[in-house]
Structure 1
Amino acid sequence: MSNLDLHPAPAECGGRHDVTARPVRELLPAKDVRLGESTMVRRLLPSMGRRMVGAWAFVDHYGPDDIADEPGMQVPPHPHMGLQTVSWLHAGEVLHRDSLGSEQLLRPGELGLMTSGRAISHSEESPREHAPSLHGAQLWVALPDEHRHTAPTWEHHGELPTVTGGGGLRATVLLGELDGALSPGTTFTPIVGADVSLAAGTSARLPVRPDFEYAALTMSGEAEVDGVRLAPGTMLYLGCGRSELPLRADVDSAFMLLGGEPFEERIVMWWNFVGRSHEEIEEARADWMTGSRSRFGEVRGYAGDRLPAPALPPVALKPRGRVR
């Protein structure tokens, strides 16, 4: 998924200086952003309050949207570097195409994981014949320096491990490990991503790691996470220092648990690129705009033009921390 903000601000983030070492309950504000022709998303990371949670550097939540008479998601070919994209659906289908030649229809409960490494391009769209509803999340994971120039790859995992407990708790592990369940998705830093469903009336405690920082993104219902009731499309930053996470729900609910070891390196993120300097971002933008197939390749099969990059800001970025 592309960041379609026409005026994306470059930001330097990462490093452990601003990590909250103790448990907190910090609601992160969402920003409404139009994605393509007809999809509105709620952007939770980066936000006005925080830029990263572990290696998670970008979180969009969209839907549930009625697209029965709409084209649905239509995101033209666009580039990425220095990150992984994680595609996750609760309803609908998304057709992924990339410059490696991959073509995969993603359905609810299936993991689409693209490692951009040094460079890749891809498109995402609802198929012509699609379900009437679209609901999901798109997330990015920053790659550490030793792996950010790796060869690009695409992974599709149709079956993922689960964790159950408390009578009505079921967690599907997208990335990393949770309570002994290990995802088949490739990771490059200590991280976890899970989709947690709670049946009405559930009260449970989910084991977590004290050295990880965590956040919870409510997908549906009104999950209560560590005593905080969360409406759909809201995100709660939890900090570090917990060994278990209290959960309860009065109605059927679902949320995504995102966590990981605080990301030590400082990164520069602008538009669809994660780098280490303004100059590196500038070079990537120029290569995309000049149509450098040797770097970003070509997406075949999408009926439309590539997505042009926004203009870079007139001043070089200034160092900033993980929080604003």
Structure 2
Amino acid sequence: MSNLDRTPAATHCGGRADVRAAPVRDLLTGRTVQLGESTEVRRLLPNLGRRMVGAWCFVDHYGPDDIAEEPGMQVPPHPHMGLQTVSWLHDGEVLHRDSLGSLQTVRPRELGLMTSGRAIAHSEESPRDHARYLHGAQLWVALPDATRDSAPSFEHHPVLPEVTGGGGLHATVILGGLDGATSPGTIHTPLVGADLTLAAGTDARLPLDPDFEYAVLTMSGESHVDGVTLTPGSLLYLGCGRRALPLRADTPASLMLLGGEPFAERVIMWWNFVARTSEEITEARTAWQSATRFGEVHGYDGERLSAPGLPPGPLKARGRTR
């Protein structure tokens, strides 16, 4: 999924200096962003209060939207570099095309994982004959320096490992490992992403890695996470140093758990690029505008996105959390 903001701010983030070594409870609210012609999303990361959680550097939550009489998601071809995109659905379908020639419909609770490496382009759209509702999240993972210039790839995993922790909690492991279960999705830094389903009356404790920092995204319903009441579209940052997370729900609810080792490298994000320097961003934008390096997406009915203009002067650091 693309950042379609025509005046994107540069975000410099990463590094361990601003990561609290103790548990916290920072409740973050997203801002509303228009994605294409018909999809509105809540952007939770990057946020004024938090730039990254482990290697997770971008989180959009959308829906549930009634698109029975609408085209649904329509995101034209656009570029990525230096990151992975994670497509996660609760309702609906998204048709993925990319410059490798991949053509894949991603359905609820299936993992669509695209690793951009040095360069890739893709489009995302609701199929012409689609389900009534569209509800999901799009997330990015920053790639470390060792693999950020690797060859691009796309993975589709329709079956993922599950964890039943008792007390009404059920988890699907999207990326990384959780409570002994490991996702088949490729990762490049220690991290975890999991979909948590809480039945009515849930009272459970989810095992965590104390070396990871964590956050929880509320997808649906009302839940209580470490005593904090959460409603859809909110992100609760939890910090580090936790060995377990108390979860409670009086009615059915669903969450996404995001975590990982604090990302040690300083990175700069602008538009759909994750890089290390302003010069790399400028070179990537020039390559996209000149139709070089990123390849071509075939089959999308429409024009590809044009890159927004760069701000005057070099892109500068804004800090990990502010």
| TM score, norm. by length of structure 2 | 0.99
Question: Which secondary structure state, in structure 2, belongs to the residue aligned with residue 296 of structure 1?
Answer: coil
Question: In 2, are the aligned partners of 1:90 and 1:136 still within 8 Å (CA)?
Answer: yes
Alpha-carbon displacement from aligned partner over 1:18-49 (angstroms, at most 9, x marks no partner) = 00111000011201000011000000000011
Question: Which secondary structure state, in structure 1, belongs to the residue aligned with residue 124 of structure 2?
Answer: strand
Number of aligned positions between the proteins: 322
Note the aligned Cα RMSD (angstroms).
0.6
Question: Which secondary structure state, in structure 2, belongs to the residue aligned with residue 189 of structure 1?
Answer: coil
| Equivalent position of 1:224 in the other structure | 224
| TM score, norm. by length of structure 1 | 0.99
| Equivalent position of 2:201 in the other structure | 201
Cα separation, 2, equivalents of 1:48 and 1:323 = 7
Shift of 1:319: 2.1
Find 2:297's aligned residue among 291, 296, 299: 299
Counting only pairs closer than 5 Å after superposition, residues 85-164 of structure 1 correspond to structure 2 as 85-164=85-164
Report the AA paired with residue 320 of structure 1.
Answer: R
Question: Which secondary structure state, in structure 2, belongs to the residue aligned with residue 257 of structure 1?
Answer: strand
Cα separation, 2, equivalents of 1:270 and 1:45 = 13
Is 1:308 paired with 2:306?
A: yes
* Aligned-pair identity (%): 74
> Which segment drifts farther, 6-15 or 314-323?
314-323
Cα separation, 2, equivalents of 1:29 and 1:202 = 25
Report the AA paired with residue 180 of structure 2.
Answer: G
> Which segment drifts farther, 311-320 or 192-201?
311-320
| Equivalent position of 1:273 in the other structure | 273
Cα separation, 2, equivalents of 1:186 and 1:224 = 31
| Equivalent position of 1:185 in the other structure | 185
Report the AA paired with residue 147 of structure 1.
Answer: T
Counting only pairs closer than 5 Å after superposition, residues 27-106 of structure 1 correspond to structure 2 as 27-106=27-106
Is 1:250 paired with 2:220?
A: no
Shift of 1:317: 2.0
Is 1:262 paired with 2:294?
A: no
Shift of 1:291: 1.1
Cα separation, 1, equivalents of 2:235 and 2:229 = 11
| Equivalent position of 2:16 in the other structure | 16
Question: In 2, are the aligned partners of 1:97 and 1:300 still within 8 Å (CA)?
Answer: yes
Question: Which secondary structure state, in structure 2, belongs to the residue aligned with residue 279 of structure 1?
Answer: helix
Question: In 1, are the aligned partners of 2:86 and 2:140 still within 8 Å (CA)?
Answer: yes
Question: In 1, are the aligned partners of 2:278 and 2:316 still within 8 Å (CA)?
Answer: no
Cα separation, 1, equivalents of 2:134 and 2:60 = 13
**Structure 2 alignment gaps of length 5 or more:** none
